[in-house]
Structure formats: C-alpha cells, structure tokens
Amino acid sequence: MSYAFDAYVTAALFTKSGQGVFALGDGSIRFDTGEVVEAHDGVVLSACLHPSGEGVLTGGDDGRVVWSRFSGAEEIASVPGRWIDAVAASAESGLIAFSAGKTVHVRDVAAPDFVRAFEHEKSVAGLAFDPKGRRLAVATYGGAWLWFARIAEQKPMVLAWAGSHIALAWSPDGKFLMSSMQENQLHGWRVADEKNMRMGGYPAKVKSLVFMSKGQMLATSGAQGVVIWPFGGSAGPMGKQAAEVGFDASTLVARVAAQPGGQRVAAGLEDGRVWICDLNGQKVEMLKAEKGSPITALAISSDGQRVAWGDEDGAAGIAEAP
C-alpha cells in the first residue's frame, strides 16, 4: 500500500492490534484503514503509542497532547503557548510523559488527577521510560536526567556527558541507557555505576536507535548501513566492535526499526528507499526500491511481518516483509 499525504510524516507506528498509523505535519492522524483524525491545529511534533496499545499520542505546536483513535481525538493535556517537543508512554505503568521547553510533565491514564512536573536547566529533546515504566530518562544539554516518574519531590540522577543529547533508548533489562547526540556520535551509560560508553565513528548524526534481539543488539542509523552494536554480557558494547548491515556507499541510513524480541531490522534511507533484513540470514530485501525524499518515519510490526514508512514530502507506505 502506498499513500500521498502531502505533509511531512512525523511518525509511522503500528498499534497493538497491528494497525498502521501515520502522524503528519498538517496535524492529522491517518489510519491504514482510511480513517482521518484532525488532532492538532498545527504541526504534529512528536508521537508514540498510547499505553493501551490502541491509538496514538501526539504532541503539537499548538501546545496540546492528544490521544487519537477511530472515534476521534481526545485532549490529554494542554500547555498553551508552548510546543510539545517529545512524548513517551509506558504500557507497563500506564504513565504518559511529555515535554514543553525545559519542563517535563507526567500523567497517569488511570488517574486523571495525577500530575507531576520536573524542571530542567536546558530544553528537553527526548524522553524514554525504563522497561518497567517507573523511571523516566530525559535527554537534554549536558547528558540525561533520570527521574522516578511518580515521585513529586526529588533530585534527579544526572548522567553527565558534554554536548546536546536528542534521543534515548533503554536496554530491555534496564541496565544501559543509550543517547544519540547532535554530534555524529552515540553515547551510553551503564546506569548502575554511571560508566560512560562513547561510541563514535559515525559519518552523520544518529537520528534513530532501537534495541532488538531481546536486548542483545542495538541498531542505529547514521552510517551507510545499519550499525549493530553487541550488548550481550554485563559490559554491553564496551571493548567490542560494531557490525554494519546493508552497506551502500551512495546514501545513508536515516531511520531504523526492529523487532524488540526478534532478528529483523528495517532501514529507511536518505534517498527514499526502504529495506528489511533478517540478521539470521543477512539478506537485505528491498521493500521500496524507488528513490525519493529522505525517510523521516519508520516502524516494524511486533511480529516482524509489516513495515511502515513515510518521508519528508508526505509519501508513505506499508509493505509485507518477505
């Protein structure tokens, strides 16, 4: 299936039931079954699955956090006059987090009166709940701040590293926190002892990163192929070499998506193509061979059978994986 949305594709997602959903720069949410929800009066800046696994949460430049389903759009929160730059949600704890400037707000889907707000010294760029949904990691300038999401009065644990941090990923066992940076490098911490892991050598910025294979591997963009870091053992990738899958000297990988518990990884390229690879066989299968605008959004279904993508000009698609 292919689509022409005529708006920047901010996110492509699969719901718990396997439905494909696209969040767009014109403020709308498009479902692969044809439904359209006008969620925002402006641009969708950030998106993630709702904790229920059904429908999507989005943050917009209209200062609103919205839950979109077939039945329509439901406002979860509003911060008038601010942009909602990042959203995150946890199915395990039922918590939702979103950022507006230097402030991170937390809500509980089961308790409408639950409100938490955490202040930071610099603007917030990314959010990620730990595997249990209890701790919230915040990407900001100078490192990552860790908060216990339900506790009102506390001092955060600060994992420091100079530079601007923009996106985060927790390992499934909660032992490692990885961060992509404005610089062409990846950084990480072993949370228990705050051990730094500097992972450089990238020719471009790492725009997306995801754990796969039950946490045994980390896949990232930012190179001519998908970079795969080994994470087996207590030291994670320290002292180990990364592998590169699907190398193509003519372009760069812009986005990656992977099965959390499996071996399949998908790549969206800067030249508009999309491929998938099962690391057991190492064979790259092209899902979108025609070139176009850079891929801006990518998702793989939990069973690894479907891949959804979108680009900066509004072209999008969903394909069955071989």
CATH number of the CATH domain containing 276: 2.130.10.10
Whether residue 112 is contained in a domain is answered as no
Residue 50 counted as domain residue = no
Find the distance separating the first CA and the last CA of the chain, reported in whole Å.
15
- Whether residue 239 lies inside any domain: the answer is yes
Both tokens of residue 211? 């754990």
- Give domain status of residue 33, yes or no: no
Beta strand residue intervals within 132-263, DSSP E: 135-148, 157-170, 176-181, 186-190, 195-199, 209-212, 217-220, 226-230, 243-245, 253-258
Q: What is the pLDDT of residue 174?
A: 96
Residue 197 lies in a domain: no
DSSP states of 69-138 as a string? ETTEEEEEEE-TT----EEEE-TTT-EEEEEETTEEEEEETTEEEEEEEEE-SS-EEEEEE-TTS-EEEE
What domain range includes position 299?
205-322
59: phi then psi, degrees, rounded to nearest 5: -115, 140
Q: Is residue 101 part of a domain?
A: no
Q: What is residue 200's predicted lDDT score, i.e. its pLDDT?
A: 86
Q: How many domains does the chain have?
A: 1
Q: Residue 83 is which amino acid?
A: W
What CA–CA distance (Å, rounded) separates 175 from 117? 25
pLDDT, one tens digit for every residue, the chain (322 residues): 999 999 999 999 999 999 999 999 999 999 999 999 999 999 999 999 999 999 999 999 999 999 999 889 999 999 999 999 999 999 999 999 999 999 999 999 999 899 999 999 999 999 999 999 999 999 999 999 999 999 999 999 999 999 999 999 999 999 999 999 999 999 999 999 999 999 988 999 999 999 999 999 999 999 999 999 999 888 888 888 999 999 999 999 999 999 988 999 999 999 999 999 999 988 999 999 999 999 999 999 988 899 999 999 999 999 998 8
> Residue 130 domain-assigned?
no
Whether this model's pTM surpasses 0.85: yes
Within a domain: 127: no
Q: Cα separation of 11 and 309, whole Å?
A: 8
